[in-house]
Structure 1
């Protein structure tokens, strides 16, 4: 199935475009809100605290929001979330349009807004699984979704920059509110939302944590740690050479590489299992990251970033696919949300950790250290694949969870 065939699936293009409009809000809001609060209060501390709580609110409440969607469906859960979130962003836009609002008010509004943000990405991936039950179609859809989502987080700050250049950063916050409300309402009006898998009244779909479900979460966390560290390392590398403006070009190279890698991955069928692919991609990304700090200049680092990017979108795509496949249909939103949350939390942790390391170690050592979480996250899929191969060769063997413990013990020894 080609990408064109994926988008020509009944109701797919309409639903996907609506989701993209809503998800663009998240690309616009962070830069807009940071600058708007800084300008309104004159305090970087207030702006930093507000943005931190905005992000933390989203991370902490994400599993709850996803569980509500799984249980009651997007048509009943997403509109109230979108209206609440958009209303709070509108309030932030109004209170930051001119100076004078107390900082604590902005911090509280930002924290509550983050907690109310509708989970449009996880819901869209669950809808892709409804639309395309076959593995090949779902692979292409998830790859396309991952690539476009990354591009939204490149486009969003540019849109926010236009509002800032016009002297109205709060307008970017208001635009984010309009985008999420419009996109969400259009998304839930799709027939795909009406066909959401129903959960019987009073029933609770429990998702037991096991290695199959933990695996994509750990990989996403390792990927987030590595990329979060890389973002700050790029800034330090360019600043050390008095070429801070080159940061944007290096980040663009990373995004471009990821887009190319994601589209290429989704366009063909691969002989190796998804777990083998995942382990190989993560190890390859770790290898590029480990040597990137040896680049002689910013042009070479941009080339290394583009090469690293080739492995980013495919890794995320497979993580989402494995999470989606490991749960029943009535738990898909939660599964995708855990992967997304792990990646975002890892990204924040990676930035914080490498920020402490930069002042204590040479940059090449910092780049190599940033690759360690990636290498560690590749262990579980590699062991899991080995277990599956041994069980397939010897169906009467011991239970694969017990065998995995045995193999993990061997690896530790």
Structure 2
């Protein structure tokens, strides 16, 4: 029954590398996982076929998504194939450019709060700082009407919910019930706070500065009218869950890579100064910073937050010349595909220059940090903007170098996050 699960859990990245290097080169490997018919797809073209070319033949399946739907309902991240197009139309106004631009000041504020809490000459806990930034920013950009005290309270509840989410969703329902009390308390805290803020957000929905959640409360023919209060609470929680842990992973790994390359830090600072000077950075400024964009793309290539994805066939399918019955699980790893040596020279090296100025394009089938096809991450530009704001804010205040001791190792659960990442921080002075 356990099969390959033991090797997968013991050292996932090494196991994936062995799978990719073995077999006849057809890119489909039979797995034994929990007694279900399962396959690992290691060929980028076949993965693209599953995600984009024939997306209608596959759906988000498996125990994780079944349990997540029971908790959060059919929101954008968890929705089944039949309900996903409606949810995507509903959420599209949330991430239009004007809303993202209006969220940048909140991102700067929260990045500054974290960066200013560090001590010059000391060591900063980068993962903790990334957690604080991601959850506070998510709450503040969704509901700007909240006070800082309330933002911090809800960010704590959001972080606690994420801690419990992995076990609650991967464990069988009977075992997951053991976590229910603490999990449900955090969930209720978030839903009640959102419910209390909805009337004001609804009244200001047409104002681009009213927050991301308010976009759901606008009258939108494309989305079928404004969301109800109940839908708003569901989407509030789902957006927190979808965006925070990926941001924690991306920001922590980005600062780790930059700490190991002082010349790159200096070049990004020079680029930032040339574009924005001494004034606060804006979305338009960030769009004129190709070096930072390349560094971010390379961070997401080296350490994609979502390191393993799953699709389940909803009908009999043919893939790679083979026939598979309905209900077959197909796993694929963005991490494995983005370290393919025949696509990326020296895949273990951090090399921003491998990307063009605009970064990866839809033609780069081996780059799956945001997925592909109809389920490609709708908030990708918001996520990239948040990561750029946080990185530029940190670099204007601090010079980062590795702390003494062992290099951080990846902790792979739902996301790929560095474990025990501490960096030495030195305060930068104006003009230096």
Both structures adopt the same fold (TM-score exceeding 0.5) = no
Higher strand share: 2
Q: TM-score, normalised by structure 1?
A: 0.26
Q: TM-score, normalised by structure 2?
A: 0.25
Higher helix proportion, which one?
1
